[in-house]
Amino acid sequence: MSPDLSVAIGELKLRGPVLAASGTFGYGTEVPLLERRSLGGMVSKGIFLRPREGTAPPRIAETPSGMLNAIGLQGPGVDALIRDYAPKWAGWDFPVFVNINGESADEYGELAARLDGVPGVAGLEINISCPNVEQGGLYFGNDPRAAAAVTEAVRKRTRLPVWVKLTPMVSDIGVIARAVEAAGADALCAINTFVGMSIDLNAYKPRLSFRTGGLSGPAIRPLAVHLAHQAARAVRIPVIGIGGIMQAEDALEFLIAGCAAVQVGTATFVNPRAIAEVHDGIAEFLSTKSITSLAELPRYLPRD
């Protein structure tokens, strides 16, 4: 018998612990060769109230075991998302979260209100950690009061589950984690990309037009495991681990380090089947260890 991989994130039940991370899965309609049976859930590309063009190219640069991106949250705006994508999601057999972005706490609140009750939208992931926008983004993520204010603004305007995606660019992630937990978050997602820069030696300038970008991929995994673990120690709400997961063993590191679930991102760019392979690999690991359900996986989580 295959082990039970279902997980509960607050009130929400997921059939598996592996979700598609925001920005790496579009709106769920683009990735080919996808085996949806293994998808625990999906987080949409980040959305603002209004359409955004995104940053000028070059937008990506590969670095050792990683990639830098500065897409700048290109997107059609929330009205188009509600009109074009949410109706499709409503028929899917896994929950879709919308990653929401704003330049002020009010904008986040407004987005929450607009998405509340829209069929197909299962929850919100507050992005207070995007390094590639001029206004908002990271600013909210590295100040506990600002992070809590955004969370509260969203919490007040929706009955949907609210997750908060944290930035690693802080001196103590536990402080931010506790602040957004107190402000009403149902779960935390840790972590978004690290801010990085890479230089083109022939052009004597950064390789990305935005100058800096968000670093993702296996290069950041040990950093991410540590930060997700620190966040999980600091709070009682579930933490969803993110950062450089390419295969099941990587996901298991996050799970054992105290995460309730994981998101897979950059790996999907490389291998459209990555999520299915991670899911199946977790099941295989549990079987090998004679563990019948993911809930029984031993965790390393001393509380702060």
Partner 1 sequence: MFVVAMHAPEIAVSVRAGEFVNLGWSPGPLLRRPFSVYRVNGEQIEIVLKAVGEGTSKLLAMTPGDRLSCLGPLGHGFDLKSGPRSVVLISGGLGVAPMPIAAKEAKALGMRVTWVHGARSSVELCSESEGDDVIWATDDGSKGFAGTAVAAAPDADLVLACGPNRMLSAVADRWPEALVAVETYMGCGTGVCLGCAVPLRRGGYDRACKEGPVYRAAEIDWAALPSHLSYAVSR
Minimum CB separation from partner 1 for residue 229, in Å?
A: 24
Does a cis peptide bond (omega within 30 degrees of 0) precede residue 51? no
CB of 65 to partner 1, least distance (A): 6
- Determine phi and psi for 219, rounding to 5 degrees: -55, -30
Tokens 């402000």 identify what position?
A: 183
Sequential DSSP letters for 35-87: -GGG--EEEPPPB-SS-B--PPSP-EEEETTEEEE-----B--HHHIIIIIHH
Choosing from 31, 73, 130, 252, which is the catalytic residue? Answer: 130
3-state SS class at 277: helix
* CB nearer to partner 1: pick between 208 and 227: 208
Kindly tell me the sign of the dihedral angle through the C-alpha atoms of 166, 170, 173, 178. negative
Q: Give the shortest CB-196-to-partner 1 separation in angstroms.
A: 11
Least distance from partner 1 to the Cβ atom of residue 237, Å: 29
Closest to partner 1 by CB, 184 vs 272, is 272
In angstroms, give the least distance from the CB of 178 to partner 1: 33
Element at 112 (helix H, strand E): helix 105-115
Cβ closest to partner 1, residue 57 vs residue 87: 57
Q: What distance in Å separates the CA atoms of residue 27 and residue 76, rounded to the nearest whole number?
A: 11
Cα dist. 293→13, 128, 192, 261 in Å? 14, 33, 28, 13
Q: How many CB atoms lie within 10 A of CB 54?
A: 16
Which residue, 6 or 198, has its beta carbon nearer to partner 1?
Answer: 198
Beta strands 123-127 and 162-166 are parallel
CA 266, CA 280: separation in Å to the nearest integer? 18
CB nearer to partner 1: pick between 64 and 298: 64
H or E stretch at 222: helix 221-234
Q: Which is nearer to partner 1, 25 or 254 (CB)?
A: 25
Nearest approach in angstroms of CB 232 to partner 1 is: 27
Binding region for partner 1 (CB under 8 A): 23-26, 30-33, 45, 53-67, 69, 71, 74, 198-200, 202, 207, 217-218, 266, 268-272
* 189 annotated active-site: no
Sheet holding 194-196, edge to edge: 60-63, 66-69, 213-216, 194-196
Number of helical (H) and strand (E) elements in the chain, helices listed first: 10, 16
Instruction: Please report how close the Cβ of residue 301 comes to partner 1 at its closest, in angstroms.
Output: 30
Q: Please say which residue, 72 or 95, places its beta carbon nearer to partner 1.
A: 72
How does strand 41-43 pair with strand 96-100?
parallel
* Residues known to be catalytic: 130
